[in-house]
Chain A
Amino acid sequence: MTEPIVSYKDVHKSFGDTEVLTGIDLDIKPAEKVAVIGPSGSGKTTIIRMLMTLEQPTSGSIIVDGKNLWHMEKNGELVPANEKHLRQVRGDIGMVFQHFNLFPHMSILENCMTAPVHVQKVSKNEAKERAVEMLEKVGLGDKLDNYPNQLSGGQKQRVAMARALVMRPKIMLFDEVTSALDPELVGEVLEVIRDIAKEGEMAMVLVTHEMEFARDIADRVLFLDNGVIAEEGPPADVLENSTNERLQSFLHRFRS
């Protein structure tokens, strides 16, 4: 057994009085591709947002590469993590958002260079090399000096992926990255994710509504329902052969 790169242990999350996640236990192996599906409001986005430290779990712990994400040790006791600790642990994690969240005041190239230069303290030349290489990979090598508002949604999302990838994360999170796109632009974005997945080194967690796509690239599919992982397994098992009624009615809505 390889050590998991991410491990959720009895993670709960409430927003006000509503408990969105009621006990998540989940191990993700290095280089594993996990797709998370489920009805809206089932907490699937919350799962990866907690890993990116955008939401704090109400209880439970998340271990990233052997390090406790939300807690740190102080005088032999576990105390809530401070910003410094969070910065140390989340350096291995990258995320792509539903609404891209590109920096509108920077060119495409600058969008992809700023974090390596300022966060990882890579030299400008090397950062530029990395950024250009990555932007070429996502098919935007000719848009380096354009600004985000000059791009289509699909192009913006590909820039967002390049921007996350230049940081060379060990874990990449995709939060419904095609949901804000016009249907005809979805394909180009999925194509890029497929390429990244093929390279295989990174663990990937994809929250998605694209069932076909999930079946294609995921090693494992999780069906989230009512705050728990209601069903999990290889794509074929979950998407085709499951007897879970809630899952079947959920999938049915996609086929019709």
Chain B
Amino acid sequence: MNNWKWDVFFEAFPIVAAGLGITLGLTIATYLFALLFGFVWTFINRIPLKPVKWLLTWIMEFIRSTPPLVQLFFIFYAWPMVPVVGFALDPFTSAIIGLGIHFSTYIGEVYRSGIEAVDNGQWEAARALNFSTRQKWTKIILPQAIPPTIPMLGNYLIIMFKEIPLASTIGVAGILNLANSYGAANFRYLEALTIVALLFLVLSYPSAILINKLERRMNRRFIKGEPTGSKPVEKEKGAVSQQ
């Protein structure tokens, strides 16, 4: 094969970059889907029934242990053939649902860890002030549970962004798909795919730095003082002379 050609690079660039809107749009849509669906896992998991918990753990384990590509293919190619409940979905929607559900299992874990980090005393105080179950979640627990997990959620955004090209396999016309077509039509894969790599690098690297910064800011904000009820264990002993 012949070597790198800049004129090809510049010719291919706008053609490949035209898919950026689709790739970013799909990323955002899938991410929002995963953020919402993550709550579904989290809340089902809190139902105090053993069978529900077992079933849920099993389903989540299943989703995480199968490759997202297989799930994507299943939703796009196999789901329409499932009797009664099956129906056909366009590639974009299939990708949102397939990748969204896959990543929601991880996001659900993040929420769970955030919620568990909220001190039990916060629940008790909410109860003592007679908040309803809904108010307890929206006013007291989630506002404390979610902010510390924002860096972790951001990391998943970047991880997910890098998995989004999987959607090209079912025909979503993102940058990888366009680069592939360009390469096939002109026998110039080198420049086209380099462009894809560059675009991903340019987008994920600054995001990673941003999230890193965010993480440090969050740490500063939540670790000092009385975050979610740090227990002053030391003081306890010195205070009253009983023990």
**A residues touching B (Cβ–Cβ < 8 Å)?**
40, 52-54, 83, 87, 90-91, 93-95, 97, 99-105, 114-115, 118-119, 147-150, 153, 156, 163-164, 167, 178-183, 186, 209-210, 253-254
Contacts and interface: CB of A to CB of B under 8 A. Distances in A.
Given A97-B128, A99-B232, A103-B140, 17 more contacts: A52-B127, A54-B127, A93-B128, A99-B231, A101-B121, A103-B144, A115-B130, A118-B139, A149-B225, A149-B227, A156-B226, A164-B128, A178-B239, A180-B239, A182-B235, A182-B238, A183-B238
A103 B236 CA distance: 20
Contacts of A118: 131, 135, 139
A150 B226 CA distance: 9
B144 A105 contact: yes
B180 interface: no
Contacts of A91: 130
Interface in B121-151: 121-122, 124-125, 127-133, 135, 139-140, 143-144, 147
A182 B243 CA distance: 15
B242 A253 contact: yes
Nearest to A95: B128
Interface string B89-131: 0000000000000000000000000000001011011011111
Contacts of A181: 235, 239
B129 A104 contact: no
Interface string B211-242: 00000000000001111110110011011111
A40 to B, nearest CB: 7
Contacts of A149: 224-227
Nearest to B227: A104
Contacts of B139: 114, 118
A40 B227 contact: no
Nearest to B129: A115
Contacts of B232: 99, 153, 180
Interface residues of B, number: 34
A159 B140 CA distance: 17
A48 B226 CA distance: 25
Contacts, number: 103
Nearest to B225: A149
B129 A99 contact: no
28 contacts: A52-B124, A54-B124, A54-B127, A87-B130, A90-B128, A93-B128, A94-B129, A97-B121, A97-B124, A99-B231, A101-B119, A101-B121, A101-B125, A101-B229, A104-B144, A148-B226, A149-B224, A149-B225, A149-B227, A164-B129, A167-B130, A178-B240, A180-B235, A181-B239, A182-B238, A183-B239, A253-B242, A254-B241
Given A149-B225, A150-B225, A209 B242 contact: yes
Contacts of A87: 130, 132
A90 B130 contact: yes
A72 to B, nearest CB: 17
Nearest to A156: B226
A115 B121 CA distance: 16
A206 to B, nearest CB: 14
5 interchain residue pairs of minimum CB distance: A149-B225, A101-B121, A101-B125, A115-B129, A95-B128
A180 B236 contact: yes
B130 A40 contact: no
A7 to B, nearest CB: 20
Contacts of A253: 242
A94 B128 contact: yes
Nearest to A208: B240
Nearest to B133: A83
B26 to A, nearest CB: 34
A104 B238 contact: no
Contacts of B229: 99, 101, 104
Contact of A102 (B128, B224, B226): B226
